[in-house]
Amino acid sequence: MNQIIFYFFFLLFVKRKKNIFLFFSKNAGGFSNLIENSNYFWEVVHMSS
């Protein structure tokens, strides 16, 4: 469930590409584990890029 929630949560920031890097740079420590453990995250990254 956490990965699904994070998936949609990230999609909200895809539309705001200007704020994505700034957002994750501020919360890099908190989201580091989610990013490393979430396959959905990387799938979205490859799809959006």
> How far apart (Å, rounded) are the C-alpha atoms in residues 27 and 44?
18
pLDDT score of 21: 66
User: Can you give the pLDDT at residue 28?
Assistant: 63
Beta carbons within 8 Å of 14's beta carbon, 6+ residues apart: 20, 44, 48
Q: Which H helix or E strand runs over 4?
A: helix 2-14
pLDDT of residue 24: 66
pLDDT, one tens digit per residue, over 14-44 is 766 666 666 666 666 666 666 666 767 777 7
Using N-to-C axis directions, what is the helix angle for 39-48 and 2-14, rounded to 10°? 20
Per-residue confidence (pLDDT) for residue 49, from 0 to 100: 65
- Distance, in Å, from the CA atom of 48 to the CA atom of 27, rounded to the nearest integer, reads 20
